[in-house]
Amino acid sequence: MELKAITQQVVNNHEVVESSMSTNNRFIEANTQQVSLSHLKQDCIIPVFAKDNESTIPHFEFIEAVRSVAQELYPEGTVTMPNIRTSHIIKGRIPSAIGKPAKELLEHEKTIYYERMAFMVEIPDVHTYIDNQKLNLTVGGVRSYSEQNLFSKKSIEKFKIFIAQKCQVCTNLGISTDGLKDDLRVSSIDELKLKAQELFLSYNQQQHIENMKQMQEYTINQDQFAHLVGKMKLYQHLDKQQKQELFHLKTTDSQINTIIKNYVDDEHFSADADGYINLWQLYNLFTESSKSNYIDNFLDRNCNTYEFVNHLGEAIRRKEDNYFINHPEIIH
């Protein structure tokens, strides 16, 4: 089915203004396509629990619930319409089209829904700057029906929600540990709203921003970077007992390859001519690489990179060797 053209709306003081969505707005890329909220509402069926035919919470209600909480908590600012990415399309047809060749199906005879969906909503009036780069406060969530047993009776449904800082020059999301709820289980929209509100209110935005700013204070050279990525690759092949003694790294081998490539040629965060790179730049190489993860695990791996870079920074601050950083040096 051909998807509708995507537009972005900004809601401010209950007025709606439409504008074209940026072409550089992919906060996740792997195997995803961008869709509109109206497409989810009008063109997609709603999966049900097979044994009792009870409806699941549809994607569009999940999105609207989280967005409405953001509007309530930040009434003085603007809240953008959601940027939505989907994957794993599930196709079907209406009963009257049974036996009809697929190429002859009319549009009204087709049914679709998306097994996996991720979205984010920006609050541009709540922003900060790090290294002259603007970061907007951003909220969002992920839903994957693959985590739900749809062959049973209606049960608790699973979601992931987050509140983060989005770097405007590259759409990278900076997600801290207290800004992610990756195993949210609710049975209603009202409960989902309550849990979203609890997460947003408990998020320590000032501490998160301060931690990211401090990343600029620590720099590694090319030899240290080579040691780091080499150890990261080796980590993937260590046995379970060896890994237990180290930081629990979730970065994949393909992500590491992306980080190495972008260390050389990233437009905004590559190393300088002498091979030096600070941890803020390195962190953005990590968050850029996390966009290649599938919808159902990219939030967890994104958050893990934040913890990992802070782990490296702590080793440098203490002038300690560890498995990943060798002979750290501090350059102010």
Vertex 30 angle, CA 24 and 35, to 5°: 60
Mean pLDDT of the chain: 87
> For the ranges 5-19, 58-72, 80-94, 286-300, which has the lowest average pLDDT?
5-19
What's the pLDDT score for residue 327? 63
pLDDT at 2 over 70: no
pLDDT at 183 over 80: yes
Closest CA to 288 of 309, 311, 310: 309
d(CA 2, CA 283) in angstroms, rounded, equals 37
How far CA 71 is from CA of 83, 134, 180, in Å, comes to 16, 21, 19
Mean pLDDT calculated for residue range 177-191: 95
* Residue boundaries of the structural domains of the chain: 7-203, 211-317
What backbone torsions phi and psi does residue 306 show, to the nearest 5 degrees? -60, -45
Place of tokens 């007992």: 241
What's the pLDDT score for residue 17? 30
> For the ranges 196-210, 289-303, 315-329, which has the lowest average pLDDT?
315-329
Question: Residues 116, 141: contact at Cβ < 8 Å?
Answer: no
Length of the chain: 332
pLDDT band for position 88 (cuts 50, 70, 90): very high
pLDDT at 23 over 70: no
What's the pLDDT score for residue 197? 97
**pTM, to two decimals:** 0.86
Report DSSP letters for 11-64, one per residue. Answer: EETTEEEEEEPPSS--S--TT-EEE-HHHHHHT----EETTTTEEPPPHHHHHH
What's the pLDDT score for residue 136? 95
Report DSSP letters for 131-197, one per residue. Answer: TTEEEEEEEEEEEEGGGS-TTSSS--EEEEEEEEEEETTT--EE--GGGEEEEEEESSHHHHHHHHH
Q: Which one is predicted more confidently, 54 or 198?
A: 198
Three-class SS state of 89: strand
Which DSSP symbol is given to 90?
E
The strand pairing partners of 144, in sequence order, are 116
pLDDT at 178 over 70: yes
pLDDT at 259 over 70: yes
Mention every residue, 6+ apart, whose C-beta is less than 8 A from residue 210.
Answer: none
Mean pLDDT calculated for residue range 99-121: 90
- Token pair belonging to 251: 């970065």
Percentage of the residues of the chain whose pLDDT score is greater than 90? 68
Place of tokens 């997609």: 44
The amino acid sitting at 23 is T
pLDDT at 330 over 50: no
pLDDT band for position 25 (cuts 50, 70, 90): low
What's the pLDDT score for residue 164? 96
What's the pLDDT score for residue 18? 33
Question: Residues 163, 314: contact at Cβ < 8 Å?
Answer: no
d(CA 180, CA 199) in angstroms, rounded, equals 8
d(CA 150, CA 283) in angstroms, rounded, equals 38
pLDDT one-digit tens code per residue, 189-223: 999 999 999 999 999 999 999 999 999 999 999 99
